[in-house]
């Protein structure tokens, strides 16, 4: 058996096509152009690359993208003041402060300064609380939201299934478990959360009908840890040394792909799986924020 490949790249393209139509409709019917502000502090190459990718993706959909780059030595109070200004800007519907920030800046304080209505990253404590209690309007963190879309759009609705989430981070594992438990689209699953310190991790992962791996260790999940016929979503992305490659490295996920594809019924690759979905869901949240602003007028 060789698994169905769940392509985040293809599903992302499908969603972006839908978003482009929504963006055009907002402009045509309401004169509103969704606006995304990205704030970058310092010159970290990886952060610069990520912000650039987000801005290019936004522009391709007709979303107004405003990048604000601040020197690494920017005082915390100046950054907080900038966020307050973006909160009040009617042309900005989503605010993303790229993490990590310099050590002397309190990340939690900055995240909490973003108004929940513009928290398109889904990290504000109010957003987290509303997700956990399945109440009120909120934006789900982008990677977990992308996992849900990948499952639904590939024909693997989690409803009624036993889903094992391997990983307990505040960015992926915990919010994903909350999304899966909700009484709504993409939810109604029975959820088990495990992690790298779970005794006999494989004994837990083998119980999954759907296994989502976000454990943060390269190729940790092997074929003997997956039940035959399970659906597997690999959230991990790692660059590992590979002398046989021209680049001297290769990119892999948390799942040993070549082994697990012979056991699973469906499997997302890494790269090309969850990665493209994260930016797409950021754009989706921004468009949804703009739509809510129209309703609230």
Beta strands 238-241; 249-252: pairing state: antiparallel
State which H helix or E strand residue 151 sits in. Answer: helix 142-153
DSSP secondary structure string, 9-77? HHHHHHHHHHHHHHHHHHHHHH----EEEEEEES--HHHHHHHHHHHHHHHHHT-EEEEEEE-TT--HH
From the list 10, 89, 103, 121, the catalytic residue is 121
Is residue 98 among the annotated active site residues? yes
DSSP secondary structure string, 184-248? STT---EEEEE-TTSTTHHHHHTT-SEEEE---STT-B-GGGS-TT-EEEE---EEEE-TTSTTS
CB distance 111 to 76 below 8 Å: no
CB distance 165 to 212 below 8 Å: yes
From the list 54, 118, 161, 261, the catalytic residue is 54
From the list 98, 234, 254, 261, the catalytic residue is 98
Catalytic residues: 54, 98, 121
């Amino acid at each position: 058996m060789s698994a169905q490949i769940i392509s985040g790249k293809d599903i992302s393209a499908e969603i972006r096509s839908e978003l482009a139509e929504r963006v055009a409709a907002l402009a045509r019917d309401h004169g509103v152009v969704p606006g995304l502000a990205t704030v970058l502090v310092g010159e970290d190459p990886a952060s610069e690359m990520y912000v650039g990718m987000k801005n290019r993706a936004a522009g391709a959909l007709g979303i107004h993208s405003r990048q604000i780059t601040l020197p690494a030595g920017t005082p915390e109070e100046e950054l907080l003041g900038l966020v307050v200004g973006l909160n009040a800007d009617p042309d900005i519907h989503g605010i993303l402060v790229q993490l990590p920030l310099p050590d002397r800046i309190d990340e939690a304080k900055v995240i909490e300064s973003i108004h929940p209505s513009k928290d398109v990253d889904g990290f504000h404590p109010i957003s987290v609380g509303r997700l956990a209690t399945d109440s009120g309007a909120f934006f789900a963190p982008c990677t977990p939201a992308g996992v849900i879309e990948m499952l639904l759009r590939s024909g693997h609705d989690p409803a009624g299934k036993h889903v094992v989430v391997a990983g307990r981070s505040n960015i992926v594992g915990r919010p994903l478990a909350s999304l899966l438990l909700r009484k709504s689209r993409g939810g109604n699953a029975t959820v088990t959360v495990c992690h790298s310190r779970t005794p006999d991790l494989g004994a837990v992962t083998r119980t999954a009908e759907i296994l989502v791996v976000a454990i943060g260790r390269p190729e940790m999940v092997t074929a003997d840890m997956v039940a035959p016929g399970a659906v597997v979503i690999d959230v991990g992305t790692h660059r590992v040394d590979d002398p046989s490659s021209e680049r001297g490295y290769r990119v892999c996920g948390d799942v040993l792909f070549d082994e697990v594809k012979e056991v699973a019924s469906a499997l997302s690759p890494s790269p090309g799986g969850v990665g493209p979905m994260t930016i797409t869901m950021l754009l989706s949240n921004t468009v949804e924020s703009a739509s809510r602003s129209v309703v609230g007028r």
